[in-house]
Amino acid sequence: MPAVSKGDGMRGLAVFISDIRNCKSKEAEIKRINKELANIRSKFKGDKALDGYSKKKYVCKLLFIFLLGHDIDFGHMEAVNLLSSNKYTEKQIGYLFISVLVNSNSELIRLINNAIKNDLSSRNPTFMCLALHCIANVGSREMAEAFAGEIPRILVAGDTMDSVKQSAALCLLRLYKTSPDLVLMGEWTSRVVHLLNDQHMGVVTAAISLITCLSQKNPDEFKTCVSLAVSRLSRIVSSASTDLQDYTYYFVPAPWLSCKLLRLLQCYPPPEDGAVKGRLVECLETILNKAQEPPKSKKVQHSNAKNAILFEAISLIIHYDSEPNLLVRACNQLGQFLQHRETNLRYLALESMCTLASSEFSHEAVKTHIETVINALKTERDVSVRQRAADLLYAMCDRSNAKQIVAEMLSYLETADYSIREEMVLKVAILAEKYAVDYSWYVDTILNLIRIAGDYVSEEVWYRVIQIVINRDDVQGYAAKTVFEALQAPACHENMVKVGGYILGEFGNLIAGDPRSSPLVQFNLLHSKFHLCSVPTRALLLSAYIKFINLFPETKSTIQEVLRSDSQIRNSDVELQQRAVEYLKLSSIASTDVLATVLEEMPPFPERESSILAKLKKKKGPGAVSVNELEEGKREGGELNGGGERGGDNSAIAASNASTPSPSADLLGLRTGLPVSAAPPTAGSLLVDVFSEAGVNDDGFLRDLEPPTESSDSLLAEGPGDSDSTPPPPPSVVSEEPAPPLPESDELLNKFVCKNNGVLFENQLLQIGIKSEYRQNLGRMYLFYGNKTSVQFVTFTTTVTCPGELQSHLNVQAKPVEPLIEGGAQVQQVINIESLTDFFEAPLLNIKFRYGGALQNLTLKLPVTINKFFQPTEMASHDFFQRWKQLSQPQQEAQKIFKANHGMDTEVLKAKLLGLGMALLENVDPNPENFVCAGVIQSKAQQVGSLLRLEPNAQAQSGEQMYRLTVRSSKDTVSKRLCELLAEQF
C-alpha cells in the first residue's frame, strides 16, 4: 500500500491547513483565510498564466476553505479548466471541486458536460469512473439531459470494465431518481435485470440498487428479477464462509448484497412459482437457523453483519405476512434479542416486533413478551430504547392486556422523558377508550392522565372524555363523583378544572343527594379554583355556574352574587364580562321553564372519529401502529362513542334522569322529542329546533356550553319562537318552470368547496344558510331559509334536482320544508345525500315563494362537490412517494398553474386544504413551502385514492404570486374535477 506522503503532497496546502489549525481564535482563522483568499484571487486574476499544479493547489485550498464553512464565490472556472488536464490528480481535484460546489451557471455547465463527455469516451476506465462519479454526485437535471441516454449503453456494453459498470449503474440510479422522465430503460430492461447474474459480486452489488429502485416504480417490467434474486440469494446463503473471498465480511458471506437482495424481494408479493417460493422459504429458514448457531467470531462486526441479514429477512417475512411458521420463528428470535446485552439489538428487536404485533399470525406470540417489554420500559437507560418499548406495548395491546398495559404506561408517565410525554398521553387515552369494558375504568384512566401529566393532555383528550361521558348515561354519575373527588386536591391541573366544571355543570345533580356533595359544596369547590384559572377555563366555569342555577335553584342567589361582582361583570376580558352579564340577566328574567329549556343537558355527540386518533396519526412515528389497524380496533370498540344510541333511547335517558332527585325533572317530557340529527322538526314541539341546532352546531370538538339563546342573532340558530304548526305540504305543487341557475351560482358553489358551513345566498328578501356534514359516502345538509322582510313568504317550496347524468351519480333527498315563513323567521330543511360514484356537476336547488303576491323563483347550485366525500389518509413520506409514483399514468394526473387570487398566508392555505377534507401531510415534501395532501374519495361504487401537491411560488418570473397544483388520482375524471375545483380556491 502506498504510504501517503508521496509525490501528491501539496506542501502549500499542508502549510495552509497547519496555519489554520494553529489559529488561536476564530478571528485569527478568518483573518488567515481572507489573506489566503486574496492571494488566490490575485493569482487567478494575474497576468501570468498559472500552471496546472498551482491551479490544482489553489482550487484545493478553496475547497478546504469552503468545507470549513466559509462561502466561496470564485474558482469555478479554474476548477473546470482542471477537468481537461491530462494529469490525473489535476482532473481529480477539478471533479471534486465541481461535485462539492455545485454551480448552475449555464456556461460552466456546458463546459463541465463537455469535459465529462470527453472522459466518458476516453476508454480510460479511471477517467470514465471519475466522470461517472461526478455525474452521480451532482445529479442535476442538465446532466441527466446530457447523459441519461449514454449511460445505459455503457452499463450493458460487453466490453465495459467491471468498475465502470458499477459506477454506471449507480450513476444511472441517481439520474433516475432526479429525472425519471429522462431515463428510459425500455430496451435495456432485460439486460439490466440480468446483471443480477453477473460473475462479479461488485457489479451485482451496485446493479441491485438500480434494479430495486426501478422495480419499485415499474414492478411488472422488472418482475423477472424475483427468481434471479432468489437464486442469487440462495447461492450466497448456502455458501461456506470463505467461498466469496473478499466479499465475505467477518465470516459472513456478502452481507450487503444479501440485504439488498432481501430488500429487492420486498418490492414484490411472495413468488407464485412454487419452486422459487420453496427455494426462498428455504433461504429464510437457513438465515433463521444461522442466527442460532454459535458465532464464528467474537467481533461485533460479525454479529452485526449476520443480524443485519436476519433483520432484513424478518422484514421480508413480515412483508409477506403469509407464513405463520416463519412469523412465529421470527418472533421467538426477536424475543431472544429483547434481553441481549447489546443495546442496539434490544432496540431493533423492539422496533421489529412492533410490526410483527400487527400480523394476525404473530400477534399472540408477541404478547408473550409483555413482561420483558414492560421491564424494558422501566429499566432501559436510553430514552430511544424506552420509546421503542412504549411503542411496542401500544402495538401489542388488546382487550386481554389493556388494563395491565395502560397501568404500566401510566406509571411510566410519572417519570417519562419530557420529549415523549405528549405522545404517551395520546396513546394511553386511545388505548383506554379503545379497550374500555367498563367506562368507570376509562374515566379513571383519563383523570389519572390529567393528574399525572396534565400539561401534556391536549384539548383533544379532555374533549373526548366529555364526549364519551355525555354519550354514555351509565357513566355520568360515576364521572360526576370522580371529578368531584379529584377536585378536592388542593392543587389540581387546570385541565382537571375544565373537565370538572363541565361534568358537574351537566351531571352535578347526580351526586347532589349526598350532603357531602350538595349543590353549594359543588359550587364552592369549583369556584375555589376559579381565580387560578386562565380566561378560557373561567369562561367555561361561568357556563357551568349558569347550568347550576338551572340544576339547583337553591344556588341561584349565591351564583348571582358571584356573577354580579365587579370582578365578573366588569371584567376587562370581553368574553368573561359578556358571559357574566348575559348569564346574570338570563337567570333573573327567564322563567324556570325557559331557563330549563335553554340550559338543557347537552345532547349526545354524533359519532365520529376520535380526534385523539387523528392527532396521534399526525404525530405518528415509525413505531406507531398502522392507521388501518387502529381504525379496525375502533370499530370494534365503537360502542363507546355512543353511536348506537344517537338520538335514540330517550326513554332510557329519561328514566335515568327521573330516578335522580333532579329539580329539572319536570322538563323531562321535552327530552323525548329530542331528535338529535335526522327527523325533520316536528310541528308543535317548539323547542326542538334549538336542540337539534345544538347537536349540529358542534363541529367535532366540544366548544363550550353555549346556550343557544346567546346566538339568537345568528342566522343559523332559531330561537324558541312561534313556529307554524300546519304540517308541511309536499314540495312539488309547482306550476311555474324552475328558473335557470343564477349566473353567480358557480361562484357561490366555489365558496363552499373548502368549508361546510356559511351563508350560501343572500338578497334583499331571503338569506340561505348552510350547515353540512359528511361521513363516508353519505352527507347531510341543513338549509336555513331566513325571511329578511317583515312580511310572510307563502307557498314556499324548494326542489332539489340532479340534472342529466348526475342522477345516476348522486342520490339527493330533500325533506319537506314549511310552506310559510313569517317575517323575520327562519325555517330549516334537511337534505340527505349519497354519493353513488364520482361526479362533476352539482345538484340544483330551486326555490319558489310568493312575497306580497309576486312570485319569486330562483335556482342555485347546491354546494355538493366531490371533495366532500374525502376521507383523510395520513401516510409517511415514503408511502406518499410510493403511491405518487404508482399513479404515474399521464391521464391520472391533472395539473394547473394559476395566479394567486388571495394572499399566500400559510395558515390560510393550510386551513383551506384541511377544509378540503384531505389529510394535510407534514414533513413529506422536501420543500417546506409546498403542501401535500392525501385522501380517499368515498362513493357507493368505489373508492378513489387521491394525492395532491400544491406548490406556491411567491416570486414567479412575472413578479406575480403563482401556484402549481398537481392532483393524481386512481381515476382520471376525479383528478380533473378536483383540479378544477381547487384552482378557484387559492
Partner 1 sequence: MEEVILEVMEEVMVEVMEEALVEMQFMLLFSRQGKLRLQKWYVPISDTQKKKIAREVIQMVLARKPKMCSFLEWRDLKIVYKRYASLYFCCAVEDQENELITLEIIHRYVELLDKYFGSVCELDIIFNFEKAYYILDEFILGGEAQETSKKNVLKAIEQADMLQEEAETPRSVLEEIGLT
Structural contact between residues 716 and 771, judged by C-beta atoms closer than 8 angstroms: yes
Distance of CA 819 to the CA centre of its chain: 46
Alpha helices per DSSP H over 454-590? 459-471, 473-486, 494-507, 519-530, 535-551, 556-564, 566-569, 574-589
Instruction: Check the annotation: does 59 bind a ligand.
Output: yes
Q: Does 418 bind partner 1 (CB under 8 A)?
A: no
* Interface of this chain with partner 1, residues 93 to 122, rule: CB under 8 A: 93, 96, 102-105
Q: Does 510 bind partner 1 (CB under 8 A)?
A: no
Q: Does 160 bind partner 1 (CB under 8 A)?
A: no
Burial class of residue 810 (count of CB atoms within 10 Å of its CB; 0-12, 13-18, 19+) = buried
Closest CB to partner 1 among 382 and 575? 382
What is the smallest separation between the CB atom of 918 and partner 1, expressed in angstroms? 18
CA atoms within 13 A on the CB side of 897: 7
**From CA 897, how far away is CA 965, in angstroms rounded?**
6
* C-alpha distances out from residue 394 to 292, 398, 402, 495, 598, Å: 29, 9, 9, 24, 43
Burial class of residue 300 (count of CB atoms within 10 Å of its CB; 0-12, 13-18, 19+) = exposed
Q: Does 295 bind partner 1 (CB under 8 A)?
A: no
Q: Does 1 bind partner 1 (CB under 8 A)?
A: yes
Figure out which of the listed residues 159, 927, 958, 959 binds partner 1, where binding follows CB under 8 A: 927
Q: Does 440 bind partner 1 (CB under 8 A)?
A: no
Closest CB to partner 1 among 133 and 527? 133
CA atoms within 13 A on the CB side of 297: 14
Q: Does 24 bind partner 1 (CB under 8 A)?
A: no
Q: How far apart are the first and last CA of the chain?
A: 64
Tell me the residue length of the chain.
Answer: 986
Contact region with partner 1 (CB under 8 A), list: 244-252, 559-567, 669-677, 694-702: 244-252
Instruction: Tell me how many residues contact partner 1 (CB under 8 A).
Output: 100
Burial class of residue 27 (count of CB atoms within 10 Å of its CB; 0-12, 13-18, 19+) = exposed
Burial class of residue 180 (count of CB atoms within 10 Å of its CB; 0-12, 13-18, 19+) = middle
Q: Does 63 bind partner 1 (CB under 8 A)?
A: yes
What is the smallest separation between the CB atom of 308 and partner 1, expressed in angstroms? 4
* Interface of this chain with partner 1, residues 730 to 759, rule: CB under 8 A: none
**From CA 294, how far away is CA 290, in angstroms rounded?**
8
Which phi and psi angles does 259 have, rounded to 5°?
-60, -40
Figure out which of the listed residues 42, 292, 726, 923 binds partner 1, where binding follows CB under 8 A: 923
Q: Kind and range of the H or E element at 248?
A: strand 248-249
Distance of CA 42 to the CA centre of its chain: 55
Closest CB to partner 1 among 183 and 705? 183
Q: What is the DSSP-derived secondary structure letter of residue 772?
A: E
Structural contact between residues 183 and 172, judged by C-beta atoms closer than 8 angstroms: yes
Closest CB to partner 1 among 114 and 266? 266
Figure out which of the listed residues 136, 504, 934, 936 binds partner 1, where binding follows CB under 8 A: 136
Distance of CA 965 to the CA centre of its chain: 19
Instruction: Check the annotation: does 300 bind a ligand.
Output: no
Q: Does 311 bind partner 1 (CB under 8 A)?
A: yes
Q: Does 706 bind partner 1 (CB under 8 A)?
A: no
Figure out which of the listed residues 113, 218, 344, 401 binds partner 1, where binding follows CB under 8 A: 344
Figure out which of the listed residues 12, 454, 720, 738 binds partner 1, where binding follows CB under 8 A: 12
Instruction: Check the annotation: does 12 bind a ligand.
Output: yes
Q: Does 589 bind partner 1 (CB under 8 A)?
A: no
Q: What is the identity of the amino acid at 926?
A: P
Contact region with partner 1 (CB under 8 A), list: 187-195, 200-208, 607-615, 833-841: 200-208
Instruction: Check the annotation: does 57 bind a ligand.
Output: yes
Instruction: Check the annotation: does 383 bind a ligand.
Output: no
x/- string (CB under 8 A) for partner 1, residues 362-381?
A: -------------------x
Directed axis angle between helix 574-589 and helix 535-551, to 10°?
A: 10
Q: Does 637 bind partner 1 (CB under 8 A)?
A: no
* Interface of this chain with partner 1, residues 937 to 976, rule: CB under 8 A: 949, 951
Closest CB to partner 1 among 716 and 932? 932
Contact region with partner 1 (CB under 8 A), list: 519-527, 712-720, 735-743, 878-886: 878-886
* Interface of this chain with partner 1, residues 653 to 682, rule: CB under 8 A: none
Figure out which of the listed residues 277, 329, 346, 615 binds partner 1, where binding follows CB under 8 A: 346
Q: Which residues contact 848 (CB under 8 A, 6 or more apart)?
A: 734, 736, 738, 795, 796, 797, 798, 855, 856, 857
Contact region with partner 1 (CB under 8 A), list: 58-66, 394-402, 462-470, 905-913: 58-66
Q: Does 173 bind partner 1 (CB under 8 A)?
A: yes
* Interface of this chain with partner 1, residues 206 to 225, rule: CB under 8 A: 206, 209
DSSP reduced 3-state for 415: coil
Closest CB to partner 1 among 444 and 922? 922
Q: Does 304 bind partner 1 (CB under 8 A)?
A: yes
Instruction: Check the annotation: does 848 bind a ligand.
Output: no
Q: What is the identity of the amino acid at 942?
A: Q
Q: Does 320 bind partner 1 (CB under 8 A)?
A: no
Figure out which of the listed residues 31, 35, 87, 703 binds partner 1, where binding follows CB under 8 A: 87
Contact region with partner 1 (CB under 8 A), list: 135-143, 274-282, 753-761, 898-906: 135-143
Q: Does 461 bind partner 1 (CB under 8 A)?
A: no
Structural contact between residues 954 and 904, judged by C-beta atoms closer than 8 angstroms: yes
Q: Which residues contact 423 (CB under 8 A, 6 or more apart)?
A: 616, 619, 621
**From CA 336, how far away is CA 372, in angstroms rounded?**
10
Q: Does 347 bind partner 1 (CB under 8 A)?
A: yes
Q: Which residues contact 629 (CB under 8 A, 6 or more apart)?
A: 358
Q: Does 84 bind partner 1 (CB under 8 A)?
A: no
Closest CB to partner 1 among 378 and 878? 878
Instruction: Check the annotation: does 427 bind a ligand.
Output: no
* Interface of this chain with partner 1, residues 174 to 193, rule: CB under 8 A: 174, 177-180
Q: Does 348 bind partner 1 (CB under 8 A)?
A: yes
Figure out which of the listed residues 171, 858, 860, 947 binds partner 1, where binding follows CB under 8 A: 171
What is the smallest separation between the CB atom of 363 and partner 1, expressed in angstroms? 22
* Interface of this chain with partner 1, residues 617 to 636, rule: CB under 8 A: 621-622
What is the smallest separation between the CB atom of 15 and partner 1, expressed in angstroms? 5
**From CA 239, how far away is CA 251, in angstroms rounded?**
11
Directed axis angle between helix 439-453 and helix 402-413, to 10°?
A: 10
What is the smallest separation between the CB atom of 386 and partner 1, expressed in angstroms? 11
**From CA 842, how far away is CA 852, in angstroms rounded?**
31
Q: Does 196 bind partner 1 (CB under 8 A)?
A: no
* C-alpha distances out from residue 411 to 7, 460, 507, 732, 747, Å: 66, 22, 30, 65, 56
Q: Does 585 bind partner 1 (CB under 8 A)?
A: no
**From CA 326, how far away is CA 79, in angstroms rounded?**
56
Instruction: Check the annotation: does 249 bind a ligand.
Output: no
Figure out which of the listed residues 110, 850, 878, 899 binds partner 1, where binding follows CB under 8 A: 878
Contact region with partner 1 (CB under 8 A), list: 472-480, 635-643, 748-756, 923-931: 923-931
Q: At which residue does the C-alpha cell 364580562 appear? A: 577
Q: Does 861 bind partner 1 (CB under 8 A)?
A: no
Q: Does 805 bind partner 1 (CB under 8 A)?
A: no
DSSP reduced 3-state for 454: helix
Q: Does 251 bind partner 1 (CB under 8 A)?
A: no
Known binding site: residues? 11-12, 43, 53, 57-61
